[in-house]
């Protein structure tokens, strides 16, 4: 398995506060992704990165920002958390190559009160 | 644009019975197709992937899937269900012209003793 860790694993916060989730990989994969998982919606892409300092938006990017200053780290920031952002967040990585699969981290459960 | 449809958000089978989880995709270019499994409170793990080498793909834990271009399908099967197969299953598609994966909404498999 690819070495992917996410921190924190659980977080409870209040509406309006900023939150940063961290994804760390040890596999030197080029691509990194942030998804949110909600019942009935499956996984929805928030943002992804195709290299250091290179990022792009996914289908549910509003209210989220990302940064990737090193190959191994991909940060997801909720600028001002809302209750609708209560979800489970997954990080994934992928090697360069069109048919390569994604590897997933263990997830972060975020509750916004 | 690419998309994935998983028919049946919940499937129940008896232990020892055939497992059939359905996945249909939409893609304007040749797709790469994946099945992932998610056990409770864990990230997603790759079961198998289709990368155009062979239409019948064998994966881990006795699962297999067949790519049928004429039906735009990639259904997942297992001849005999085991209690340990109870989990959430996700179908995903990617294409060579993009960096994103597109996931279905998932199928929850229950195995009845």
Q: Nearest CA to CA, how far is A30 from chain B (Å)?
A: 11
CB nearest B32 (choices: A4, A45, A99): A99
Report cis status (omega within 30 of 0) of the bond before B82: no
Other C-beta atoms closer than 10 Å to the C-beta of B99 total: 16
What is the residue whose two structure tokens read 């760390």?
A24
Question: Minimal Cα–Cα distance from B37 to chain A, Å?
Answer: 11
Mutate to test the interface with B, among A43, A47, A55, A104 (most CBs of B within 10 A): A43
**β-bridge pairing B44-50 and B31-38:** antiparallel
Q: How many CB atoms lie within 10 A of CB B6?
A: 21
- Read off the pLDDT of residues A11-65 as tens digits, 9 standing for 90 and up: 999 999 999 999 999 999 999 999 999 988 889 999 999 999 999 999 999 999 9
Are A43 and B49 an interchain contact pair (Cβ–Cβ within 8 Å)? Answer: no
| CB-CB contact of A75 with A23 (8 Å) | yes
DSSP string, B55-109: SEEE-GGG-EEEEEGGGTEEEEEESS--GGG-EEEEEEEEETT-S-EEE---EEE
A56, two tokens: 């792009």
- Is pLDDT at A1 greater than 60 in this prediction? no
Running along chain B, 113 residues long, what does each successive block of 10 average in pLDDT? 90 97 89 93 93 88 94 96 96 82 94 96
Which three-class secondary structure state does DSSP give residue A83? helix
- Residue A12's alpha-carbon distances to A15, A74, B113, in angstroms, are 10, 21, 37
Give the A-side interface with B, CB within 8 Å: 4, 31, 33, 35, 40-45, 48, 50, 56, 58, 90, 92, 98-99, 101-107
Are A99 and B90 a contacting pair at CB < 8 A?
no
- Report the pLDDT value the prediction gives residue B83, as an integer from 0 to 100: 96
């Amino acid at each position: 398995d690819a070495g992917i860790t996410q921190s924190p694993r659980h977080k409870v916060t209040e509406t309006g506060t900023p939150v940063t989730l961290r994804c760390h990989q040890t596999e030197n994969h080029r691509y990194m992704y942030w998804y949110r998982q909600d019942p009935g919606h499956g996984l929805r892409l928030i943002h992804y990165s195709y290299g250091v300092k290179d990022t792009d938006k996914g289908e549910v990017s509003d209210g989220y920002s990302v940064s990737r200053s090193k190959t191994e780290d991909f940060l997801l920031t909720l600028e001002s958390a809302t209750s609708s952002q209560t979800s489970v967040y997954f990080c994934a990585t992928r090697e360069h190559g069109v048919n390569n699969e994604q590897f997933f981290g263990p997830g972060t459960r975020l509750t916004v009160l | 644009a690419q998309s994935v449809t998983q028919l049946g958000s919940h499937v129940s089978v008896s232990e020892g019975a055939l497992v059939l989880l359905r996945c249909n995709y939409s893609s304007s270019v040749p797709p790469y197709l994946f099945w992932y499994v998610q056990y409770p409170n864990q990230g997603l793990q790759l079961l198998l992937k289709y990368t155009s080498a062979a239409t019948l793909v064998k994966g881990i834990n006795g699962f297999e899937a067949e790519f049928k271009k004429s039906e735009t399908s990639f259904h997942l099967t297992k001849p005999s269900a085991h209690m340990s197969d109870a989990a959430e299953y996700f179908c995903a598609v990617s294409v060579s012209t993009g960096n994103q994966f597109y996931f279905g909404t998932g199928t929850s498999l229950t195995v009845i003793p």
